[in-house]
Amino acid sequence: MANMFVGAFCALCLQAAYGEIVFVAVASNFSETAHVLAKRFNERSGHVVRISSGSSGKLYAQIRNGAPFDIFLSADTARPERVEFDGLAVPGTRFSYAEGTLVLWSVRERYADRNCLEVLKSLDFDYLAIANPDTAPYGAAAKQWLEGLGLWRKIRSRIVTGENIGQAFHFAATRNAALGLVAAAQLADTDIPAGSCRYAVPASDHAPIMQQGVLLRRARGSAAAREFIASLHSDAATEEILRRGYRRP
């Protein structure tokens, strides 16, 4: 009996020492940024934020199917709105945390000192990697931009589709695709291969990639989850988000 009380007491001590655990579903493009912000939050607050990343569409489907997430940071506005409509979010907690930017990028040496946009328009490439337009907001923006250029139908057979923007980036970074339409934030990572050309897609050429988050119903009583959301609006978080190639809403 004494051992039972000691065990229970130790468990309470550990919980007090480490605070709450917050499970956050994060769109792939924001994964690296979220890990940095979560680490800072953990060190400062004593809570533990755990990140799970994937395409916004797949994360939404997981939430619909009961995945135990506390916060959803999507790469669009549509999925958080749907989560609200489904009754799976705490009313009034949806917020914008970043606006994504799209970049046409390559690491192929033969494109060094060339204009990536001209390479695309001249069709001087084998494959172009994009995220899935049906489930990933960056993919939808990529498709819209290509349609605006009058290229979508011409190059449809040359497009390789990643499940999310992370996989699309991987195709381009490993040279399996000559070009990639990737998130500017991915190019802020110092560990990525040196690019041979890049072209920043004008934000006016596609619908805004407005990224929103929402507090999920299972975390309505979680002070730690609300604290983490509040931390995303801090000056330090804003500086990190901007540094990684996003715009602030």
Q: What is the pLDDT of residue 145?
A: 98
Residue 159, pLDDT > 50, answer yes
**What CATH code would you report for 102-200?**
3.40.190.10
> Contact at 8 Å (CB) between 97 and 19?
no
Whether domain 2-99+208-243 has CATH 3.20.20.70: the reply is no
CB 79 within 8 A of CB 60: yes
Residue range 12-41: mean pLDDT, rounded: 83
Strands 71-73 and 102-106, bridge-based pairing: unpaired
Mean pLDDT of the 39-49 span: 97
The answer, yes or no, to whether residue 17 has pLDDT greater than 70, is no
Structure tokens at 105: 């990028």
Q: What percent of the chain has pLDDT over 90?
A: 83
Q: Average pLDDT for residues 87-101, to the nearest whole number?
A: 96
Q: Which residues contact 167 (CB under 8 A, 6 or more apart)?
A: 28, 131
**164: Cα separation from own chain's centroid:** 9
Of 4-13, 38-47, 57-66, 186-195, minimum mean pLDDT range: 4-13
Residue 4's pLDDT band (cuts 50, 70, 90): very low
pLDDT of residue 6: 38
pLDDT surpassing 80 at residue 193: yes
Q: Once rounded to an integer, what is the mean pLDDT over residues 213-240? A: 97
Residue 211 pLDDT greater than 90, yes or no? yes
Instruction: Break the chain into its structural domains and give their ranges.
Output: 2-99+208-243, 102-200
Q: Taking the model in full, what pTM does it have?
A: 0.80
**Residue 157: pLDDT over 60:** yes
pLDDT, average across residues 139-159: 97
For residue 18, the model assigns a pLDDT of 55
Domains 2-99+208-243 and 102-200 share a fold: yes
Rounded-to-integer distance, Cα 125 and Cα 119, Å: 7
Please give the pLDDT value at position 53: 95
